[in-house]
Chains A and B, each alone.
Chain A
Amino acid sequence: MERDNHQEGEAEGVKICDPPSESNPPADTLATSLSLLGNHMFPDPVERNDSATVNKEEPADSLPSVDTAEEQSQDANLDSNQVTKLEAEETENSGQCHSDVSSQSQSSEDAAADNGQGDSGEFVVTMLAKAKLEEQGIGVKGRSSPLLEAGTQESPAFISHRDEDVTADSWRQHRKHVFVLSEAGKPIYSRYGSEEALSSTMGVMMALVSFVQSGDNIIRSVYSEGHTVVFLQKGPLVLVCVSSSRQSERQLRGELLYVYYQIISMLTQASISRIFEHKKNYDLRRLLAGSEKILDGLLNLVDSDPSFLLAAVHCLPIASSLRDSLSQILQKAITPNLVFSILIANNQLLTIIQEKTVIEDARLEPADVHLLLNLIGASSAFQAGEIWTPICLPLFNPDCYFYAYISYLDPPECTVCLLLLSTDKEAFYAVAECKRKIEEAMVAQNSLSLIAKVQSYSVSQVGVSDLRHFMYKPFDVPDNYRQLTQFTSPEMEAPYSSEEEKMRLLDLYRYMHSRIHSTSRPLKLIYHVAERETLLAWVTSKFELYTCFSPLVTKACAITAITKLLRWIKKEEDRLFIRYPPKYSTTPNPSKSSRGGKSDQQDSTDNGFLSLL
């Protein structure tokens, strides 16, 4: 259904793309970009979902690269873009090039539409699985084997045959499955269904991974009709996503990375490596038991909250005077080894303050904030108490714990939450005392009732009639390099009030995002006429903007609207964003050892984060 929408939309729509060639300077005004657009009108590349192909990485020293079906189809369309595209490819794969397992899919682009192609692709996949199982002496003998029978009952669609897809049960129809397994093939987590029941399925997944690995390759994704299977190997963990959403491989891999980070946030990378070094077939569920809901919650948030897609934090719009006064309250309630003080209302940031020496070394990454927000959401069942728990911020430092103090300031409503992060395990009482001070000051300044009045804003405040919704993410510019990446977005209002419609709009945004950030052909601007709305996405060196208009808007109207919108955002930016995150210096002697470690870590963690974008 989704897919039909998109394709129809593209067929009707005016498709304008700005090729990212080196000679084009970043378009800073819409007018400049549009003037460039006229020269580059490209037909839409052929969708490749109809073919089942296996993409994998090859080390650079192996055979020369063979293009994937997608690349070829685009080459045909777009010769001028080839150089840039390949560069993009290279940076994304850090010098490794794509190859394609299925020989037929290399042949030509028109094979992509051939159904036989899909069959053979799946056949390859199935054979891979069988071959590996046999090699391991599991003894799969064709379809009659009880192991395989058991496997096919719960196995995701990608290894099943097309006829089995028709009898798909509700389990199979889930939009997005996520599996986590250990390198020994032991199940660790499944989004739907119990891990035990899925152990044979996960065994097959691991077989695929290790089969490709045995040829000095890394399996990255499998495409079949309607499903994308994405693999991510992180240390001793293998994460697999089986998705029937139309998200790009890169987006899905980014989501798997969030799942990995959430696991790291509970156990730390160092301890996971240590455990599996010590015992290869350790059952990690022993340590994660009870955390399933945190992972479930994360995956639900990833599906419903665009923060994850944009890798930016959504902060609650409040008058800058109120935000400043809240920041000052937090700044006055500090104790040794306190590193971050974060105030949250309705799962959105109100303000965040950081210890000065820490901010010099490293900054809090949006992904770490997302994990913290998810943890709070998933642990709020018993809200009267004060929680003290170790938590690792994987992008800050994947190997160490912070100690998080979490308490609600407005029981029993429990909308305003205080989160204090300390490096001292024993600091609970000192940190709890900070909360007492914060509470006192907030009572004195009547802050809670002011916060209670704060609401997210309506798009009507912008005053542009055709504009239905937007997401605006300013980029880090040099003068606020240390600032947390944020984005702003109004409430989703009619016609996007139902859950289905919200999801549909988000899917459209995800599609726009995947086009804009396509690895093979990144774009700067897309004007997309969909069935029930018109979208315009625009990326410059200063911001990234996604807008949704009513379907009858004209291009000229949309451009005027965006100009107005940008002016409005500029005017309101003190309210919409945390502009100058306050710093403080707590302590005579903040623990120096941990900071030394952090600065070393920072380079690698930054790189890790880039791959998520």
Chain B
Amino acid sequence: MLKLEKRQADSRLMSYVSPLIAIVLTLLAGALLFSVLGHDPLHALYTFFISPLTNAYGWTELGIKVAPLLLCAMGLTLCYRAKIWNIGAEGQFIMGALGGSMAALQFLDAESRWVLVPILISGSISGLLWGALAAWLKTRFNANEILTTIMLNYIALNALLYAVHGPLRDPAGFNFPESAMFADAALLPLFSDDYRLNISILFALFFTVVIWTVMARSWVGYQIQVLGEDAKAARYAGFNTNRLTWFALLVCGALAGLAGVAEVTGPIGQLIPHVSPGYGYAAIIVVFLGRMQPFGILLASMLLALTFMGGEMVQIEMSLPKSLTGLFQGMLLFFLLAADLLISYRIVFQPRTARA
């Protein structure tokens, strides 16, 4: 008879093994799914997970997708360490893209690269303000941030749709819901003309290091962790809970906003209705899969970036729907949450004993 038994202490080993278990189970479930759909499961998994990375172009495309995931994930890490369950990176990303685009459209004739500075800043500030809204609702009205940030995501999406269908629509764009193409000077510099990879990946890596140093060494990072682990201890120590909440949500908003503006000034080059394929949501999975540790988050962001590419690949090569991306991401989170049970519990085998 199998029985779950509470461990004496949480298993450190299992907290690292659990993501691997989740990945293996996701692959198995994926294989099952493909074979039910009538495809060779091995070939399908190969197409989904490996063929995107068989050439240098694929790796640079991965980098393009890792950057926004990493930026959002680091911001979310700050929030989740404080147990502020911000689901709003998606909305903050969209607002960043929207605010950045509004700035970029002011500089359609720009020649100087320096225009990128006000564009990136206005994108970051737009995301920050969107995060501030959630912080204000939480600290002023004690409104649950899970609900408010989800609702703010939809508001952001509708604001974006309004903008591309209305004020920001390209007058010369044949009524397509898109903005004008940004000036070349307003686009993030590329590493090489052969690939689309731009310097946003450097932003992402830079802020990964910054956020991590803040968490590990700074007083505010310590306070955030205490608040998340034990709110009563934070109160005992006299930490200002509201100020920490503001800090975490503002930083997260700014980073997600930066990711958003880097997307429109990067691979897209204009504002379109679908600026985000769901980076803000996928980043939540990245944070948990990466165990809120910097290196783990880096690896997890690569895996999640791969699911976006894999979805496109199976659509092109096997005419399967792109929404498989969401399916794989969902399974990953699902299996991860299940496997995380083994961090605090272990399965013991109990031979059936005769009982009166």
Chains A and B come from one and the same complex: no
Q: Which residues of B contact A (CB under 8 A)?
A: none
